[in-house]
Amino acid sequence: MSYRVHLRPDAETDIEEAATWYEKQRKGLGDEFLDEVLSVFETISDNPHMYAVVHRHTRRAIIHRFPFGIYYRIEEESLVVVAVMHGSRHPKRWQQRT
């Protein structure tokens, strides 16, 4: 059973800002970032318990090739993505969203 992935508005903003930044670094890199994010969404949709809980009921999946984590919660038959943040960001920044 695959879970539906729902992004909170802050998580959507996180993705858009990161993709824009990568695109400014090199043409096409923003799209590559988005492809990696979508790949992780597919993975967590198929196997949401694969990643460990890092804070309360929030889990973190690491994005390959890019130093970002996807923070999400499992809620009934859906996944709620609360943040997509760079690994160097202070954890309090995304924890305030949960």
Spatial CA neighbour of 41 closest among 14, 5, 66, 72 = 5
**pLDDT average, residue stretch 61-65:** 93
Instruction: Note down the domain range covering 76.
Output: 4-96
Domain count, the chain: 1
CATH of the domain at 77: 3.30.2310.20
pLDDT tens string 1-57:
789 999 999 999 999 999 999 999 999 999 999 999 999 999 999 999 999 999 889
User: Which amino acid would we find at residue 72?
Assistant: Y
Question: What confidence category does residue 69 fall into, taking pLDDT thresholds of 50, 70 and 90?
Answer: very high
